């Protein structure tokens, strides 16, 4: 029974990855008008994500399954803890409107479990953290340099293209979206199935099939809102700039997948879009709030899941976490990180999120009261 519940949560997590993360890979193509119908974009994402997971997702699965924590510690109960610790923060973040990285949340949950059981590969963790810092920086550097050379230099300021050139650019943009979705599948499917592979529920191959299908279904059935939001956010990008962003991010994420590094796709995309703006318009195009948002995601994503996983593992195993100095170190660090991240959040957006939570709480209270009133009377 516990195994069925664990697999079910993993599949829900995978579907959420497809809806909130992988579907965003087609945002540039949909937002620029290269793809007119949203369902077509979602279908292309679903196929590409599944292909990416099956063909290039094995290395990241092995990293999450065996690279950070000894697989012998992945009992079914602790695997369930890891998946819950990754899924719950994502659900809460979606409620309050704070975007979290699925890769970072998953790694945080696994690290929390490893810290609790005393088995953690610090060297591998350091490499992953370095990759998280370098990915958005590399995306920014590449797109800023390329956009300066292609769009800003006087020699490269060409008149508007004709219908033939625009049609070619549109086709390339769609191909770029499919390419980025493929890269996302290669990297993100592992987030849901890596712990299950470590627990022996699936082999790497079967895990990629099951997880890939779940992520693809999430993108196909639940990814419409992500596409709509992400598309509206980047509609100011021209076809040329959108092509630059998609191929840059797709290549960086695919390279990370090949070497087995879980990569934050959203942060890479944000860094690439910022790079385009900087390359064309210079420092005046830089948004302090966007930088703050990246910092918020980078800090909150792994910290929340790490603390939740660490405390739940101690609860499940019966260890007295309060007697361990590491507990106080993690809790104090987590509180400082969370406080710092909350200071970075846009104040109006935070106020709106709190109002939304309050309204939903009132609605839930009314429903509960209505259900309980016949019993009380």
Per-residue pLDDT of the chain (377 residues; tens, 9 = 90+): 788 888 988 998 888 888 776 667 777 777 777 788 888 888 898 999 999 999 998 899 998 888 888 888 888 999 999 998 888 877 766 655 556 678 888 998 999 888 888 888 888 889 998 998 899 999 999 999 998 888 765 545 554 556 667 778 888 888 988 999 999 999 989 998 998 998 888 899 999 999 999 999 888 887 777 677 666 555 466 778 888 888 999 999 999 999 999 988 878 888 888 888 888 776 665 666 666 666 666 677 788 888 888 888 888 887 665 556 666 566 665 566 555 555 555 555 555 555 555 555 555 445 445 544 544 44
Helix (H, G, I), strand (E, B), or coil: what is residue 237? coil
Q: Are 29 and 206 in contact (CB under 8 A)?
A: no
Q: Are 99 and 230 in contact (CB under 8 A)?
A: no
Q: Could you give the count of Cα atoms lying within 13 Å of 207 in the half-sphere of its Cβ? A: 29
- Count of positions (residues) in the chain: 377
Q: Are 180 and 18 in contact (CB under 8 A)?
A: no
CA distance 97 to 91: 10
């Amino acid at each position: 029974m516990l195994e069925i519940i664990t697999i079910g949560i993993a599949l829900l997590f995978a579907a959420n990855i497809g809806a909130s993360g992988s579907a965003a890979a087609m945002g540039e193509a949909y937002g620029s008008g290269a793809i007119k119908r949203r369902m077509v974009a979602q279908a292309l994402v679903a196929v590409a994500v599944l292909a990416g997971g099956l063909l290039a997702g094995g290395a990241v699965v092995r990293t999450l399954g065996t690279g950070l924590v000894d697989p012998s510690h992945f009992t079914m109960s602790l695997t369930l803890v890891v998946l819950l610790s990754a899924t719950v923060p994502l659900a809460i973040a979606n409620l309050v409107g704070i975007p979290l990285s699925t890769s970072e949340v998953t790694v945080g949950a696994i690290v929390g479990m490893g810290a609790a059981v005393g088995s953690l590969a610090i060297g591998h963790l350091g490499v992953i953290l370095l990759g998280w810092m370098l990915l958005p920086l590399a995306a920014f550097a590449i797109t800023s340099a390329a956009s300066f050379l292609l769009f800003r230099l006087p020699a490269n300021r060409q008149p508007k293209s004709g219908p033939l050139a625009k049609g070619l650019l549109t086709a390339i943009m769609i191909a770029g979206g499919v390419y980025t979705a493929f890269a996302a599948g290669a990297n993100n499917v592992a987030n849901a199935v890596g712990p299950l592979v470590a627990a022996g529920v699936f082999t790497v191959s079967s895990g990629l099939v099951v997880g890939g299908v779940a992520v693809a279904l999430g993108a196909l059935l639940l990814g419409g809102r992500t596409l709509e939001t992400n598309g509206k956010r980047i509609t100011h990008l021209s076809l040329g700039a959108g092509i630059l962003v998609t191929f840059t991010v797709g290549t960086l994420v695919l390279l990370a997948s090949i070497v087995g590094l879980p990569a934050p796709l959203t942060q890479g995309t944000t860094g690439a879009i910022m790079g385009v703006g900087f390359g064309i318009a210079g420092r005046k195009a830089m948004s302090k709030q966007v930088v703050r948002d990246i910092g918020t995601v980078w800090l909150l994503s792994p910290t929340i899941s790490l603390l939740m996983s660490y405390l739940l593992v101690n609860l499940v195993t019966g260890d007295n976490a309060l007697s361990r100095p590491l507990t106080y170190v993690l809790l104090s660090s987590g509180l400082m990180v969370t406080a710092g991240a909350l200071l970075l959040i846009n104040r109006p957006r935070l106020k709106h999120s709190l109002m939304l939570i309050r309204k939903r709480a009132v609605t839930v209270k009314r429903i509960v009261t209505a259900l309980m009133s016949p019993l009380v009377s």
